[in-house]
Structure 1
Amino acid sequence: MTISKVACAAFLLSLGLLGGCGEKFLEEAPVDQITDANFYQTEQDAIQATNAAYSELTKEGQYNLAMWAFDIWADNSVSGGDDGNDAVEYKQLESFSIPSTNIVANRLWGGSFIGVQRANLVLQKVPAITNISAGIKQRCLGEAQFLRAKFYFDLVRAYGDVPLFTAPPASPEAVNIPRTPAAEVYKQIEQDLKDAFANLPASYAGTDLGRATKWAAAGLLAKVYITEGKKPEAAEWARQVISNSGKTMWDNYADNFKVGNENRNEKESLFEVQYVNGRNEYERNNVGSAMNEFFGPRGANQTPGSGYGFNVPEPDFVNGYEAGDTRKAATVWVPGDAFVDGKTQAPRATGSPFGYNVKKWFVGKVNTNIWDSPLNVPVMRLAEVYLILAEAVGPTTEGLEAINKVRRRAFGLPINTPSAARDLTANTPDFTAAVLRERKYELAFEFDRWFDLKRYNGTPYGLIPVMTAQRDFLRTLGIQRAVPTATNLVLPIPQSELDANPGLKQNPGY
């Protein structure tokens, strides 16, 4: 998506930050003369205000810091980094000793609510603009509905009850509202995504590639419903995407994570966070992704800053790949893997005692800037929609074919051709466990694992039993891993929010 530097009215958020003009993507427009009185007048104003809501996705409050935590907080990975105070915010998470000042908890809350309020501004102001085509007005409203739903989906899953804003507060004091029950937040998310589905186009062309489509809304709605345990509704919306979007999966799993394959209307990605390079240096609140550098093998000299080694795969995660699964080579560096400089992945490195690192977001030395990769991050892919359908309908003919398409691709087989060697069958024991396992490896380091474990809380597949089993396994390798309690089914409400808003109450146990 080629979106100019956004322009929007300043807005006071509950963090005490100004929800003013954010930056996004390739071009810049001057913002020093913009006020609420002279903005929201033209079609371009509407587009720029909408772009402002998109811009929060690229920053620390979303995919440039906070979202990384949800593999580390689960059983996929550990924080990594060096042996000192590096990655302390993630070390707090993996130890399940999380203060209310934790950076992840603060950034996710703050960035998501900035995104919410920017979407609210679009929904409030754009309907009154007259100098705008009907199609662009409808599209901007649909994009804002989609983005508000996406931000709230992250918030409600991470914190539980959260304040629900469906319009910009009329005054700074009006942000001080109590938390809304999660069920009401989910109801609003569902409605926003249905409205977005009705308002958004099916595809884009040219410089608009990468904007949210109706199929992004439908896919996300299926994911919302499966998270809520509403399986018939999840199946209904998953079928809509599969049958009507025109999307097909890449034959090669690794093709999902190549810069040259981004924003393809006919291919697998339903929605991507848009990144470009050449604009950042040491900056995670701009337009380049930091994951190439932060996740790169530490000291490997493959990236501009030689790699930081964050988000290190756990040995049990790596060992869990089935033989022949092509996703392993696309996802993880393992000892002996060849680097571009002729060296190889070491069997042991600082922060990675078993020699594993995340490979999925590696792009190499794309330029001399440090935290600045152009690789987009897929938020929803067609493969996940197939897995949602399989989970929703169980080991029926439909459900088995859905999960088996994903498995066949994983093993380099034709996606639509049955495989006696790899297909699951109606006799597969514990189909739910099989689906969750497939999600674990299909979506590894796409920041879903903790959410999957949390939504199965109270079952053998939930966060506490899974992490307890992992702890017991790691002990046999001499590795100590903490175990979560019921407290860790949510993040703490940031202390700065509690101080600013007397209407908020902290989550139990924090």
Structure 2
Amino acid sequence: MKSNKILYIAIALALFNSSCKKALDLKQQGVYTSDNYFRNETDAVTAVNGIYSILPEEDYIGHAECTFDVPSDDYWRSGDHGEDEGIENLTYDASNAAIRYPWKWRYEEINRATNCIINIPKITAISADIKNRSMGEAYFLRAFGYWRGMLIHGDVPIITEDDYSKQLFNVPKSPIEEVRKQIESDLLKAVDLLPESYDASNLGRVSKGTALGLLTKLYMNWEKLPEAIATGQKVISNSHYALAPNYTDNFTRANETSTEMLFSIQAVQNVLPNDFTVYYIPRPWGGYGFSQPLQGLVNEFEANDPRKAATVLSVGDKVDLGDNKGLTTFTADLSATGFAFKKYAVFNTFADGGGVDHSFVVPLMRSADIYLLVAEALIRTQGAGAGDVLINQIRHRASPLLPPVVGAGMTQLIHERRVELAGEGERHQDLMRWDKKNIVDIAAIYNKAVSKAPIDQSKTVTFVRPKNYYFPLPQVEIDKSKGVLVQNPNFK
């Protein structure tokens, strides 16, 4: 998303320059609305860039959306946000702040995307390639906003183009089936409009593979397994979305050009910083120390699996903090569990100023996720062993020393998703998805104490079906709607 970075810098400079002038010295150059803003190709690209700029928001993908995975058996919430305890223990109610934070940003993303979808087709001073790409980006990003809302809340409001044109934003919830259809419709349009890949100046924009990847995830959530296989195979078979040569490559600065990065958060140090990484880094190292791995996750890794060292910082591990002091040792006092997520502990070199790398490209969806979803769908439709080839591609990429699976069923698939995607926000949603099909017993997994060594505490989570499959709508949104929005039935 290099062009986005240029945009952010330009905005920052403009704000700085304007602050140096007295208000009375400013001459109004024009007033822009949706009706008169979209004049040319530059306006279209800039408007789409504005949709992307929401992603790093701390109260959206930058942190708040990550909170919804902390009930899982992979995490100890840690941190100093009191509202996170209710999310982790599933004792939240509709007034919980963590539930409220991302709601407005999902709909801001939907709002900006819909604005582009309505107005970009009216532009005549634009090339066909840029118009198609921009429309595809807008459709994907709108689908992503609805996807996050649907995963977390189930039934959510759909704001149509007609509603938008009438400025009608206070609308009732739509049933989850309709929300899935809306997401599917937007993603299919995005698949048709988006390019397969980009040149160096536009790396980070969503591609055809990004839309196919999210569509695969939608079909798995929807239990449309044949559709998930057909869609996911289009990602797997395309060299533009090939796995990175090394697992660790996905969690270094080099990942900016990786074909495996289907979707990511991009940011610029000191201009549009990315709060995502800082939340996972220990406080003495400049982070906030949230979402720490539990011993059970660490134990899940097999011997000779280098993904463990790439994923988790353990006592005794060495890290270069870019402070010109050489390697720093990770010690037990840096974490309540004795571990931290190494895959997000990325630091600038001393030459670059040291400290937390706020411009590290954070993966939101990798090709490896799609490989394993297709493998799962094959196992569930064709039987044990049908996903072996795909699972073994993931394992062999991790290390040739890992023994290949033979006749793998769901037990092996569940293990592989846990270690491959640890800390990437998939575990809780995976377990709920499997619980609904009686593949796992999420209540049994969660309703037992999980050791939080070395501190003498434990984590116990009581999962209640069907209540905890979805979170309530934020009470503040219910109140603002004056009766138009109705709370989820298990939270009235």
For the superposition of Structure 1 and Structure 2, which TM-score range results when normalised by the shorter chain?
Answer: 0.7 to 0.9
SS of equivalent to 2:484: coil
Cα distance in structure 1, aligned partners of 2:356 and 2:490: 36
> 1:274 corresponds to which letter in structure 2?
Q
> 1:379 corresponds to which letter in structure 2?
L
For 1:202, which of 171, 191, 196 is the aligned residue? 196
For 1:504, which of 481, 485, 491 is the aligned residue? 485
Contact between 1:455 and 1:462, CA under 8 Å: does it hold in 2? no
Contact between 2:209 and 2:241, CA under 8 Å: does it hold in 1? no
- The one-character-per-residue Cα deviations of 1:184-239 (angstroms, maximum 9, x if unpaired) are 11011111111111101111113211111111111111111111111100000111
Deviation at 1:169, TM superposition (A): 3.3
**TM-aligned CA distance change 1:474 to 1:226, over 3 Å:** same
Asked if 1:45 is matched to 2:43, the reply is yes
Cα distance in structure 2, aligned partners of 1:375 and 1:504: 38
Deviation at 1:125, TM superposition (A): 0.8
Asked if 1:434 is matched to 2:412, the reply is yes
Cα distance in structure 2, aligned partners of 1:333 and 1:168: 50
For 1:455, which of 397, 422, 433 is the aligned residue? 433
> 1:155 corresponds to which letter in structure 2?
G
Asked if 1:493 is matched to 2:476, the reply is no
Cα distance in structure 2, aligned partners of 1:70 and 1:146: 22
Equivalences for residues 127-166 of structure 1 within 5 A? 127-166=121-160
The answer for the alignment partner of 2:21 in structure 1 is none
The answer for the alignment partner of 2:340 in structure 1 is 357
Contact between 1:292 and 1:364, CA under 8 Å: does it hold in 2? no
> 1:63 corresponds to which letter in structure 2?
I
The answer for the alignment partner of 1:9 in structure 2 is none
Contact between 2:296 and 2:450, CA under 8 Å: does it hold in 1? no
The answer for the alignment partner of 1:244 in structure 2 is 238
For 2:395, which of 386, 391, 407 is the aligned residue? 407
SS of equivalent to 1:357: strand
**TM-aligned CA distance change 1:247 to 1:321, over 3 Å:** same
| Number of equivalenced pairs | 462
**TM-aligned CA distance change 1:317 to 1:3, over 3 Å:** same
CA RMSD of aligned residues (A): 2.6
Equivalences for residues 327-476 of structure 1 within 5 A? 327-340=307-320, 341=325, 342-349=327-334, 352-365=335-348, 373-394=358-379, 395=383, 399-410=387-398, 412-413=399-400, 422-426=403-407, 428=408, 431-458=409-436, 459-469=438-448, 471=449
**TM-aligned CA distance change 1:348 to 1:78, over 3 Å:** same
Cα distance in structure 2, aligned partners of 1:484 and 1:52: 38
> 2:268 corresponds to which letter in structure 1?
V
- The one-character-per-residue Cα deviations of 1:141-174 (angstroms, maximum 9, x if unpaired) are 1111111111111110100000011327358872
Cα distance in structure 2, aligned partners of 1:170 and 1:64: 27
Give TM-score scaled by structure 2 length. Answer: 0.87
**TM-aligned CA distance change 1:103 to 1:251, over 3 Å:** same
Contact between 1:348 and 1:355, CA under 8 Å: does it hold in 2? yes
**TM-aligned CA distance change 1:69 to 1:172, over 3 Å:** farther
Cα distance in structure 2, aligned partners of 1:474 and 1:354: 5
**TM-aligned CA distance change 1:130 to 1:249, over 3 Å:** same
The answer for the alignment partner of 1:12 in structure 2 is none
- The one-character-per-residue Cα deviations of 1:380-423 (angstroms, maximum 9, x if unpaired) are 2111111011001115665110011111222x22xxxxx7x611
- The one-character-per-residue Cα deviations of 1:28-72 (angstroms, maximum 9, x if unpaired) are 285995511430111111111111211111112432111221331
Contact between 2:192 and 2:208, CA under 8 Å: does it hold in 1? yes
Cα distance in structure 1, aligned partners of 2:372 and 2:9: 34
Deviation at 1:249, TM superposition (A): 1.4
Equivalences for residues 3-402 of structure 1 within 5 A? 3-4=3-4, 25-28=8-11, 33-36=30-33, 37-81=35-79, 86-167=80-161, 169-170=163-164, 174-264=168-258, 267-279=259-271, 287-299=272-284, 301=285, 305=286, 307-340=287-320, 341=325, 342-349=327-334, 352-365=335-348, 373-394=358-379, 395=383, 399-402=387-390
**TM-aligned CA distance change 1:126 to 1:480, over 3 Å:** closer
Deviation at 1:322, TM superposition (A): 1.0
Cα distance in structure 1, aligned partners of 2:273 and 2:135: 26
Contact between 2:95 and 2:475, CA under 8 Å: does it hold in 1? yes
Cα distance in structure 1, aligned partners of 2:165 and 2:211: 31
> 1:232 corresponds to which letter in structure 2?
P
> 1:2 corresponds to which letter in structure 2?
K
Greater Cα shift, 498-507 or 270-279: 270-279
SS of equivalent to 1:78: strand
Deviation at 1:460, TM superposition (A): 4.6
Unaligned runs of 5+ in 1: 7-23, 280-286, 414-418
Cα distance in structure 2, aligned partners of 1:124 and 1:99: 37
Give TM-score scaled by structure 1 length. Answer: 0.84
Unaligned runs of 5+ in 2: 16-27
SS of equivalent to 2:476: helix
Contact between 1:178 and 1:504, CA under 8 Å: does it hold in 2? yes
Contact between 2:76 and 2:337, CA under 8 Å: does it hold in 1? no
Deviation at 1:473, TM superposition (A): 6.5
**TM-aligned CA distance change 1:165 to 1:332, over 3 Å:** same
Cα distance in structure 2, aligned partners of 1:47 and 1:472: 48
Contact between 2:315 and 2:339, CA under 8 Å: does it hold in 1? yes
Cα distance in structure 2, aligned partners of 1:215 and 1:462: 33
Contact between 2:114 and 2:164, CA under 8 Å: does it hold in 1? no
Greater Cα shift, 251-260 or 454-463: 454-463
> 1:496 corresponds to which letter in structure 2?
V
Cα distance in structure 1, aligned partners of 2:74 and 2:140: 29
- The one-character-per-residue Cα deviations of 1:261-290 (angstroms, maximum 9, x if unpaired) are 3133xx2112222122122xxxxxxx2222
Cα distance in structure 1, aligned partners of 2:157 and 2:126: 32
Greater Cα shift, 40-49 or 88-97: 88-97
SS of equivalent to 1:175: coil
**TM-aligned CA distance change 1:371 to 1:120, over 3 Å:** farther
SS of equivalent to 1:272: strand
SS of equivalent to 2:257: coil
Greater Cα shift, 325-334 or 389-398: 389-398
Cα distance in structure 1, aligned partners of 2:426 and 2:233: 21
The answer for the alignment partner of 2:22 in structure 1 is none
Q: In percent, how many aligned pairs have the same letter? A: 34
- The one-character-per-residue Cα deviations of 1:70-114 (angstroms, maximum 9, x if unpaired) are 331211111112xxxx12122221122213232321122111111
SS of equivalent to 1:353: coil
Cα distance in structure 1, aligned partners of 2:163 and 2:357: 35
